[in-house]
Amino acid sequence: MKFETGSLRYDGNGLIPAIAQDAATGDVLMMAWMNEEAVTRTLETRRVTYWSRSRQAFWVKGETSGHVQELVDFRVDCDRDCLLVTVHQTGPACHTNRRSCFFTAVRGGEEVEIMTPML
pLDDT tier at 119, thresholds 50, 70, 90: low
**Whole-number Cα distances in Å, 99 to 12, 82, 104:** 31, 22, 12
Question: 6-48: per-residue pLDDT in tens?
Answer: 999 999 999 999 999 999 999 999 999 999 999 999 999 999 9
Tell me what pLDDT residue 109 has. 97
- What are the start-end ranges of the E strands in the chain? 16-22, 28-34, 49-52, 57-60, 69-76, 83-89, 104-107, 110-113
pLDDT of res. 33: 98
0.85 surpassed by pTM: yes
The answer to whether the beta carbons of residues 98 and 92 sit under 8 Å apart is yes
Q: How confident is the model at residue 59 (pLDDT cuts 50, 70, 90)?
A: very high
The per-residue pLDDT for range 85-108, each reduced to its tens digit, is 999 999 999 999 999 999 999 999
